[in-house]
Amino acid sequence: SQKIEQNSEALNIQEGKTATLTCNYTNYSPAYLQWYRQDPGRGPVFLLLIRENEKEKRKERLKVTFDTTLKQSLFHITASQPADSATYLCALDSRQAGTALIFGKGTTLSVSS
Amino acid sequence: GAVVSQHPSRVICKSGTSVKIECRSLDFQATTMFWYRQFPKQSLMLMATSNEGSKATYEQGVEKDKFLINHASLTLSTLTVTSAHPEDSSFYICSARPGLAGGPRETQYFGPGTRLLVL
Protein backbone atom coordinates (compact mmCIF):
# COMPACT_ATOMS: atom_id res chain seq x y z
CA SER A 1 0.00 0.00 0.00
CA GLN A 2 1.02 3.62 -0.46
CA LYS A 3 3.12 4.95 2.36
CA ILE A 4 4.44 8.41 3.15
CA GLU A 5 7.07 9.01 5.80
CA GLN A 6 8.27 12.27 7.17
CA ASN A 7 11.37 11.12 8.90
CA SER A 8 11.52 13.52 11.79
CA GLU A 9 8.59 14.01 14.08
CA ALA A 10 10.29 17.11 15.48
CA LEU A 11 13.09 19.38 14.39
CA ASN A 12 14.66 22.09 16.53
CA ILE A 13 16.92 24.71 15.00
CA GLN A 14 18.26 28.16 15.78
CA GLU A 15 17.03 31.30 14.14
CA GLY A 16 18.86 32.13 10.94
CA LYS A 17 19.74 28.53 10.11
CA THR A 18 18.27 26.50 7.27
CA ALA A 19 15.66 23.93 8.20
CA THR A 20 15.52 20.82 6.02
CA LEU A 21 12.54 18.49 6.22
CA THR A 22 12.32 15.13 4.47
CA CYS A 23 9.41 13.32 2.88
CA ASN A 24 9.81 9.78 1.55
CA TYR A 25 7.19 7.66 -0.14
CA THR A 26 6.92 4.04 -1.22
CA ASN A 27 4.72 1.96 -3.50
CA TYR A 28 3.67 5.01 -5.37
CA SER A 29 4.48 7.33 -8.29
CA PRO A 30 2.72 10.65 -7.67
CA ALA A 31 2.12 13.16 -10.43
CA TYR A 32 2.88 15.93 -7.96
CA LEU A 33 3.74 16.56 -4.35
CA GLN A 34 2.64 19.39 -2.09
CA TRP A 35 3.86 20.91 1.16
CA TYR A 36 1.53 22.47 3.71
CA ARG A 37 1.97 24.33 6.96
CA GLN A 38 -0.34 23.59 9.88
CA ASP A 39 -0.50 25.60 13.07
CA PRO A 40 -2.03 24.08 16.24
CA GLY A 41 -5.81 23.86 16.03
CA ARG A 42 -5.89 25.15 12.46
CA GLY A 43 -6.35 23.68 9.01
CA PRO A 44 -3.38 23.20 6.65
CA VAL A 45 -2.20 26.11 4.54
CA PHE A 46 -0.79 25.40 1.07
CA LEU A 47 2.85 26.37 0.56
CA LEU A 48 4.30 24.78 -2.57
CA LEU A 49 3.48 22.25 -5.27
CA ILE A 50 6.10 20.45 -7.34
CA ARG A 51 5.34 18.20 -10.29
CA GLU A 52 7.01 14.91 -11.16
CA ASN A 53 8.91 16.50 -14.06
CA GLU A 54 10.28 19.33 -11.91
CA LYS A 55 13.45 19.00 -9.86
CA GLU A 56 13.19 22.11 -7.76
CA LYS A 57 10.74 24.88 -6.89
CA ARG A 58 11.33 28.07 -4.95
CA LYS A 59 9.12 30.61 -3.26
CA GLU A 60 10.74 33.35 -1.22
CA ARG A 61 12.66 31.56 1.59
CA LEU A 62 11.19 28.17 0.71
CA LYS A 63 12.70 25.58 -1.59
CA VAL A 64 11.36 22.15 -2.50
CA THR A 65 13.14 19.39 -4.37
CA PHE A 66 11.59 16.28 -5.84
CA ASP A 67 13.63 13.18 -6.68
CA THR A 68 11.39 10.56 -8.26
CA THR A 69 14.26 8.05 -8.38
CA LEU A 70 14.86 8.25 -4.66
CA LYS A 71 11.14 8.75 -4.06
CA GLN A 72 11.95 11.69 -1.86
CA SER A 73 11.19 15.38 -1.46
CA LEU A 74 13.19 17.83 0.61
CA PHE A 75 11.67 21.01 1.96
CA HIS A 76 14.03 23.82 2.95
CA ILE A 77 13.37 27.01 4.88
CA THR A 78 16.33 29.36 4.68
CA ALA A 79 17.07 32.11 7.21
CA SER A 80 14.52 30.54 9.53
CA GLN A 81 12.57 32.68 11.97
CA PRO A 82 10.62 31.85 15.14
CA ALA A 83 7.45 32.58 13.14
CA ASP A 84 8.28 29.59 10.96
CA SER A 85 7.61 27.31 13.93
CA ALA A 86 4.74 25.02 12.92
CA THR A 87 4.02 21.52 11.66
CA TYR A 88 4.85 20.95 8.01
CA LEU A 89 2.95 18.30 6.08
CA CYS A 90 3.93 16.54 2.90
CA ALA A 91 1.05 15.43 0.66
CA LEU A 92 0.84 13.35 -2.51
CA ASP A 93 -1.87 13.20 -5.12
CA SER A 94 -3.71 10.02 -5.98
CA ARG A 95 -3.38 10.32 -9.76
CA GLN A 96 -7.13 10.03 -10.18
CA ALA A 97 -9.26 12.99 -11.12
CA GLY A 98 -11.18 14.35 -8.18
CA THR A 99 -9.47 12.29 -5.51
CA ALA A 100 -7.91 13.69 -2.41
CA LEU A 101 -4.39 14.06 -1.11
CA ILE A 102 -2.55 11.53 1.00
CA PHE A 103 -0.74 13.20 3.88
CA GLY A 104 2.32 12.36 5.90
CA LYS A 105 2.23 12.73 9.68
CA GLY A 106 4.16 15.96 9.55
CA THR A 107 7.31 17.35 11.08
CA THR A 108 7.00 19.89 13.86
CA LEU A 109 9.60 22.60 13.44
CA SER A 110 10.67 24.77 16.35
CA VAL A 111 12.87 27.77 15.63
CA SER A 112 14.45 29.32 18.69
CA SER A 113 15.75 32.89 18.84
CA GLY B 1 -6.13 33.41 -1.93
CA ALA B 2 -9.30 31.37 -1.92
CA VAL B 3 -11.12 31.06 1.39
CA VAL B 4 -12.88 28.08 2.87
CA SER B 5 -14.86 28.46 6.06
CA GLN B 6 -16.14 25.91 8.53
CA HIS B 7 -18.89 26.26 11.07
CA PRO B 8 -18.87 25.72 13.95
CA SER B 9 -15.21 25.99 14.88
CA ARG B 10 -15.80 24.08 18.08
CA VAL B 11 -18.68 21.97 19.34
CA ILE B 12 -19.33 19.97 22.49
CA CYS B 13 -22.23 17.55 22.49
CA LYS B 14 -23.66 14.72 24.52
CA SER B 15 -23.21 11.13 23.46
CA GLY B 16 -26.02 9.98 21.17
CA THR B 17 -26.77 13.34 19.63
CA SER B 18 -26.07 14.40 16.05
CA VAL B 19 -23.79 17.22 15.01
CA LYS B 20 -23.71 19.03 11.67
CA ILE B 21 -20.57 20.72 10.38
CA GLU B 22 -20.71 23.11 7.42
CA CYS B 23 -17.97 23.74 4.92
CA ARG B 24 -18.27 26.70 2.56
CA SER B 25 -16.10 27.98 -0.25
CA LEU B 26 -16.49 31.73 0.06
CA ASP B 27 -15.12 33.09 -3.19
CA PHE B 28 -15.04 30.21 -5.62
CA GLN B 29 -17.16 27.31 -6.75
CA ALA B 30 -15.99 23.93 -5.54
CA THR B 31 -16.84 20.98 -7.72
CA THR B 32 -15.22 18.64 -5.21
CA MET B 33 -14.96 18.85 -1.46
CA PHE B 34 -13.11 16.52 0.87
CA TRP B 35 -13.62 15.69 4.52
CA TYR B 36 -10.67 14.73 6.71
CA ARG B 37 -10.32 13.74 10.33
CA GLN B 38 -7.21 14.38 12.39
CA PHE B 39 -6.40 12.89 15.78
CA PRO B 40 -3.75 14.49 18.01
CA LYS B 41 -0.23 14.20 16.60
CA GLN B 42 -1.57 12.23 13.63
CA SER B 43 -1.91 13.05 9.99
CA LEU B 44 -5.05 14.07 8.20
CA MET B 45 -7.02 10.99 7.24
CA LEU B 46 -9.43 11.24 4.34
CA MET B 47 -12.97 10.27 5.28
CA ALA B 48 -14.88 10.97 2.09
CA THR B 49 -14.96 12.82 -1.19
CA SER B 50 -18.07 14.65 -2.24
CA ASN B 51 -18.96 15.98 -5.65
CA GLU B 52 -21.76 18.46 -6.07
CA GLY B 53 -25.03 16.81 -6.87
CA SER B 54 -23.87 13.22 -6.38
CA LYS B 55 -23.36 10.79 -3.54
CA ALA B 56 -20.19 11.00 -1.53
CA THR B 57 -17.46 8.40 -1.90
CA TYR B 58 -16.34 7.08 1.46
CA GLU B 59 -12.94 5.70 2.35
CA GLN B 60 -12.62 2.17 3.61
CA GLY B 61 -13.57 1.90 7.25
CA VAL B 62 -15.67 5.06 7.32
CA GLU B 63 -19.34 4.35 8.05
CA LYS B 64 -21.47 6.23 5.56
CA ASP B 65 -24.56 5.89 7.74
CA LYS B 66 -22.76 7.49 10.64
CA PHE B 67 -21.03 10.28 8.73
CA LEU B 68 -23.62 11.75 6.40
CA ILE B 69 -22.28 14.06 3.72
CA ASN B 70 -24.37 16.38 1.60
CA HIS B 71 -22.87 18.53 -1.16
CA ALA B 72 -26.00 20.43 -2.09
CA SER B 73 -24.40 23.31 -3.95
CA LEU B 74 -21.10 24.33 -5.48
CA THR B 75 -20.22 26.31 -2.35
CA LEU B 76 -21.53 24.18 0.50
CA SER B 77 -20.91 20.71 1.85
CA THR B 78 -22.12 19.44 5.21
CA LEU B 79 -20.91 16.57 7.38
CA THR B 80 -23.35 15.23 9.95
CA VAL B 81 -22.01 12.96 12.67
CA THR B 82 -25.03 10.93 13.70
CA SER B 83 -25.40 9.40 17.15
CA ALA B 84 -22.01 10.72 18.16
CA HIS B 85 -19.90 8.83 20.68
CA PRO B 86 -16.77 9.88 22.60
CA GLU B 87 -14.56 8.04 20.12
CA ASP B 88 -15.84 10.40 17.41
CA SER B 89 -14.15 13.29 19.20
CA SER B 90 -11.62 14.65 16.77
CA PHE B 91 -10.61 17.57 14.57
CA TYR B 92 -12.63 17.57 11.34
CA ILE B 93 -11.25 19.49 8.40
CA CYS B 94 -12.75 20.07 4.99
CA SER B 95 -11.04 21.11 1.80
CA ALA B 96 -12.40 22.34 -1.49
CA ARG B 97 -11.10 21.99 -5.00
CA PRO B 98 -12.11 24.73 -7.42
CA GLY B 99 -13.76 24.05 -10.75
CA LEU B 100 -11.95 24.59 -14.01
CA ALA B 101 -12.32 28.36 -13.80
CA GLY B 102 -10.97 28.49 -10.28
CA GLY B 103 -7.32 27.67 -10.75
CA PRO B 104 -5.07 24.64 -11.25
CA ARG B 105 -6.79 21.31 -10.82
CA GLU B 106 -4.35 20.29 -8.12
CA THR B 107 -5.18 23.20 -5.87
CA GLN B 108 -7.02 22.48 -2.65
CA TYR B 109 -8.01 25.02 -0.06
CA PHE B 110 -8.54 23.89 3.51
CA GLY B 111 -11.00 25.12 6.07
CA PRO B 112 -9.86 26.08 9.59
CA GLY B 113 -11.24 22.87 11.07
CA THR B 114 -13.93 21.98 13.59
CA ARG B 115 -13.04 20.57 16.99
CA LEU B 116 -15.68 18.06 18.11
CA LEU B 117 -15.84 16.85 21.67
CA VAL B 118 -18.43 14.21 22.54
CA LEU B 119 -19.06 13.77 26.25
Taking the Cβ of residue B55 and every Cβ of chain A, the question of whether any pair is shorter than 8 Å is answered with no
Q: Do A46 and B107 touch (CB under 8 A)?
A: yes
Task: Please report the pLDDT score of residue B111 as a whole number.
Answer: 96
Residue A91, SS3 per DSSP: strand
Amino acid identity for residue B66 in this structure? K
Q: Do A98 and B49 touch (CB under 8 A)?
A: yes
Which residues face A92 on adjacent strands?
A33, A102
The answer to which of A92-96, B7-11, B13-17, B31-35 has the lowest mean pLDDT is A92-96
Q: Do A98 and B93 touch (CB under 8 A)?
A: no
pLDDT at B3 over 60: yes
Confidence of residue A96 (pLDDT cuts 50, 70, 90): low
Task: Please report the pLDDT score of residue A104 as a whole number.
Answer: 92
pLDDT at B104 over 70: no
Taking the Cβ of residue A46 and every Cβ of chain B, the question of whether any pair is shorter than 8 Å is answered with yes
> Three-state SS string across B25-80, please?
ECCCCEEEEEEEEECCCCCCEEEEEEECCCCCEECCCCCCCCEEEEEEECCEEEEE
pLDDT at B18 over 70: yes
Q: What is the tens place of the pLDDT at every residue in B49-80?
A: 988 888 899 998 999 999 999 988 889 999 99
pLDDT at A27 over 90: no
Q: Do B49 and A49 touch (CB under 8 A)?
A: no
pLDDT at B96 over 80: yes
Task: Please report the pLDDT score of residue B110 as a whole number.
Answer: 94
